[in-house]
Amino acid sequence: MGFLNAIRAGAPSLSFEFTPARDAAGAEALAERAARLESLAPDFVSVTYGAAGNTADRLDNSIRATALLARATPAARLAHLTLAGHSRAELEQIVARFLATGAEGFLALRGDPPDGPTAPWRAAPGGLTHAFELVRLIRALSPAPIGVAAFPHGHPSAESLEHDAAVLALKQRSGADFAVSQVLFEAEAYFRLRDRAATAGADLPIIPGIMPITGSVRLDRVETFSGGPLPPALSERVAAAASGDELSRAGLEWSVELVRDLLVGGAPGVHFYTVGGAQATEAVCHALELKGARQLGRPQP
Ligand SMILES: Cc1cc2nc3c(=O)[nH]c(=O)nc-3n(C[C@H](O)[C@H](O)[C@H](O)COP(=O)(O)OP(=O)(O)OC[C@H]3O[C@@H](n4cnc5c(N)ncnc54)[C@H](O)[C@@H]3O)c2cc1C
């Protein structure tokens, strides 16, 4: 429960998201990345649940990564779990397996259809359809904290932004304790999401998702990650970068300004997608003296 208190206190909380490794070399890199970020004293680390790969592989990879993080860091472990491709009975067994492996909370998700986020959804035989049902299933089995997904630009197949916010409120009523947003690149998108959620009756803490753009992040995937267009000022800076180093510098400056604006505006914490490596995340945390970088409070406006 410790990390949930940190999120609720809005101290602000700090968390890092990792993708499971597929082989021994990947596992070593993951352990190294986690150990490096450990000095920043994250409140929790999370492990994604592979969209690709067969059902057994994605589960085994996530379980292994959760166990690895349990050895590599004292931070709480949050297991992402998607209901896609699983029956209800399988999901119950998976929840138990994650808890036995060191997971201390869940991010309860639907997952995307195999043909992409906007493809028609088909439930697995004996399975669930929406994330709120998975929240209920986990809540019935465990008191562990449960997070859910939130979408600053709306989920790609949402009927409307208002309906999307109503879905978030439903997830909260089903037992969700907090939400983590899709990657965002402008603070205003977060504040608009928070306002819509409040209007729909969802007052759970929403942690904004941050992904610093670096020379190693595939730019063609950035808009897919965020579900919305890049702000024009960021696109200009990205286009003007003449090298990977310049791009990383521009991405770092943008992320520092973004995180500062979010925290000043009352975001309860920040959740870093570490897909571009540990260095950029570390640099943003140090620039803003977040958590372990200096036992810091909220930056002053
Ligand atoms: C922070 C974060 C982490 C993620 N991690 C992973 C991961 O590890 N692995 C992975 O595969 N994917 C991950 N995803 C992607 C996620 O699985 C997809 O975005 C998926 O398409 C939606 O998941 P959801 O949990 O929001 O689903 P849902 O809440 O079920 O929503 C899916 C769609 O159904 C609609 N809907 C929901 N409830 C209802 C209802 N009661 N009535 C009518 N319509 C409804 C929603 O509006 C939405 O359009 C992550 C996303 C985020 C934001």
The CATH number for 218's domain is 3.20.20.220
Confidence of residue 2 (pLDDT cuts 50, 70, 90): confident
Query: Residues 73-85: what's their mean pLDDT?
Result: 94
For residue 128, the model assigns a pLDDT of 97
Is the residue at 194 inside a domain? yes
CA-closest residue to ligand 1 atom 48: 158
* Packing angle of the helix pair 131-141, 88-101 (nearest 10 deg): 60
For ligand 1, say whether the CB of 155 is within 6 Å of any of its atoms: yes
User: Per residue in 192-207, pLDDT tens?
Assistant: 999 999 999 999 999 9
Atom of ligand 1 nearest to the CA of 209: 1
Is the residue at 297 inside a domain? no
For residue 219, the model assigns a pLDDT of 73
**Any alpha helices (H) in 73-130, and if so which ranges?**
88-101
Task: Return the best residue to mutate from 110, 148, 157, 211 for the ligand 1 pocket (most ligand atoms within 8 A of CB).
Answer: 110
CA-closest residue to ligand 1 atom 12: 111
For residue 276, the model assigns a pLDDT of 73
For ligand 1, say whether the CB of 123 is within 6 Å of any of its atoms: no
Task: Return the best residue to mutate from 61, 106, 130 for the ligand 1 pocket (most ligand atoms within 8 A of CB).
Answer: 130
d(CA 171, CA 176): 6
Which residues span the domain enclosing 137? 2-289
d(CA 271, CA 269): 7
d(CA 82, CA 44): 19
Is the residue at 300 inside a domain? no
Rg (CA), the chain: 18
Q: Is 17 a catalytic residue?
A: yes
| Count of domains forming the chain | 1
| Among 84-93, 156-165, 189-198, 233-242, the least confident range | 233-242
What's phi and psi for 121, nearest 5 deg? Answer: -90, 135
For residue 152, the model assigns a pLDDT of 97
**Any alpha helices (H) in the chain, and if so which ranges?**
2-9, 24-38, 55-72, 88-101, 131-141, 161-173, 187-200, 219-226, 232-240, 244-264, 278-287
- What is the three-class DSSP state of 149? strand
For residue 112, the model assigns a pLDDT of 86
For ligand 1, say whether the CB of 111 is within 6 Å of any of its atoms: yes
140, two tokens: 């019935």
Burial zone of 90 (CB within 10 Å; 0-12 exposed, 13-18 middle, 19+ buried): middle
Is the residue at 170 inside a domain? yes
| Among 45-49, 101-105, 168-172, 277-281, the least confident range | 277-281
As a whole number, the mean pLDDT across the chain is 91
Indicate the DSSP class of residue 231: P
Atom of ligand 1 nearest to the CA of 80: 8
pLDDT > 70: percent of the chain: 95
Residue 118 has pLDDT above 90, yes or no: no
Task: Return the best residue to mutate from 19, 167, 204 for the ligand 1 pocket (most ligand atoms within 8 A of CB).
Answer: 167
For ligand 1, say whether the CB of 82 is within 6 Å of any of its atoms: yes
230 close to 185: Cβ distance less than 8 angstroms: yes
Query: Residues 159-172: what's their mean pLDDT?
Result: 97
Indicate the DSSP class of residue 102: T
d(CA 157, CA 137): 24
Residue type at position 249: R
Atom of ligand 1 nearest to the CA of 164: 47
Is the residue at 162 inside a domain? yes
| Among 99-108, 211-220, 243-252, the least confident range | 211-220
For residue 54, the model assigns a pLDDT of 64
Strand-pairing partners, residue 16, are 45, 272
For ligand 1, say whether the CB of 48 is within 6 Å of any of its atoms: yes
Atom of ligand 1 nearest to the CA of 151: 53
Is the residue at 295 inside a domain? no
Q: How many C-beta atoms lie closer than 10 Å to residue 12's C-beta? A: 24
Residue 301 has pLDDT above 50, yes or no: no
Is the residue at 104 inside a domain? yes
d(CA 256, CA 287): 7
Cα 147 to the center of its chain, rounded Å: 9
For ligand 1, say whether the CB of 167 is within 6 Å of any of its atoms: yes
Is the residue at 301 inside a domain? no
Q: Is 114 or 66 the better-scoring residue by pLDDT?
A: 66
User: Per residue in 174-191, pLDDT tens?
Assistant: 999 999 999 999 999 999
d(CA 174, CA 2): 21
What's phi and psi for 294, nearest 5 deg? Answer: 180, 125
